[in-house]
Amino acid sequence: MRYVLLRDDDTNAFTPVTCLERLYRPFLDRGLPVNLAVIPAVRTDAAQADGRPEGFLPAQPPAVPARVPVGQSRELIQYLRDNPGFHVVQHGCDHSFYEFDSPDPHEVAGRLAEGTHWLQQAGFAAPETFVAPYDKLSRASLAAVGRRFRVLSTGWFELRRLPWSWWPAYLWKKLAGKAHWRVGRTLLLSHPGCLLSRHRPRETMLAAVQHAVRSRPLTVLVTHWWEYFRAGRPEEEFIDVLHQTAAFLASTPDVRVLSFAELARSGLPRRQEWLAVTAPLASPSA
């Protein structure tokens, strides 16, 4: 059996319900869970490295307030409640640029706690999975996430950023050629890049997804809802690839699509095939 987790990043208070419905109805109708990495209180001035506004913001975001909690979108909250196939995970706190690259453990802990607070204020359960904006985490952030969450989903792990107590397990993971590992009770998952992205060629995208799924015991597929809509208009060819992905996942007998919560709680059979090693939790000062 091969396992897949679909992770869509950047849902926030400004995300139109119509966009999520357009993209993910084929998944929901097939009983395939969709993991939404939700920004708890999005910054209205969130910007990329070059200063351009982030694509998940509306063309004319309000000047004030500086941050908008996801719970202020009653339509979005009701939509997610009405569609339990969506599973909410915590995506940072407000999506400031590299907000979890800080070396200060107190700042990191505060941001994690605040993000969880805003999600719970919106009516969601305390999140068990964390996704850092830009996949950027400092040593202090990794240690804090390891203590607070059961799953960390990120792009990659760098030895120089890891808490020192994780180093032996990480080196063994690398030697074993595994993508995923565990620290204490926390699963650390990497992914093969954003295969479902507007920056990749449409004609080979589905084949790349199929290859990734078939060549790994467990695959995290990452995408971003706003990339499918250019200037508010749907990119039909790109959306069609996403829907073909849903058909592929649903029709392949040896593939099972999971939520992050199910992965953390179920204890998959033959986990040693995809999980490399277990490391002890880091102390707050590690």
> Is residue 22 scored above 80 in pLDDT?
yes
Residue found by looking up tokens 């694509």 in the block: 55
The 10s digit of each residue's pLDDT in 86-127 is: 999 999 999 999 999 999 999 999 999 999 999 999 999 999
| CB distance 77 to 19 below 8 Å | no
Task: Give me the domains of the chain, ranges plus CATH numbers.
Answer: 2-279 (3.20.20.370)
**Which residues are bridge partners to 177 per DSSP?**
none
Q: Looking at per-residue confidence, does 26 or 280 come out higher? A: 26
Q: pLDDT averaged over the chain?
A: 92
Distance CA 127, CA 198 (A): 29
Residue found by looking up tokens 């890049």 in the block: 193
Distance CA 159, CA 170 (A): 7
Distance CA 42, CA 12 (A): 6
The 10s digit of each residue's pLDDT in 223-250 is: 999 999 988 899 999 999 999 999 999 9
Distance CA 17, CA 15 (A): 6
Q: Looking at per-residue confidence, does 70 or 265 come out higher? A: 70
Report the helix count and the strand count for the chain, using DSSP H and E.
8, 14
The 10s digit of each residue's pLDDT in 69-96 is: 999 999 999 999 999 999 999 999 999 9
> Is residue 216 scored above 70 in pLDDT?
yes
The 10s digit of each residue's pLDDT in 140-157 is: 999 999 999 999 999 999
H/E stretch holding 43 reads strand 41-43
Distance CA 15, CA 79 (A): 11
- Percentage of residues of the chain with pLDDT beyond 90: 81
| CB distance 20 to 67 below 8 Å | no
> Is residue 284 scored above 60 in pLDDT?
no
> Is residue 63 scored above 80 in pLDDT?
no
Q: Where are the alpha helices (DSSP H) in the chain?
A: 17-29, 74-82, 105-121, 139-148, 167-176, 202-214, 236-251, 260-266
pLDDT at 177: 87
DSSP 156-195: ---GGGS-GGGHHHHHHHHHHT-SEEEETTEEEE--S--S
Model confidence, pTM:
0.93
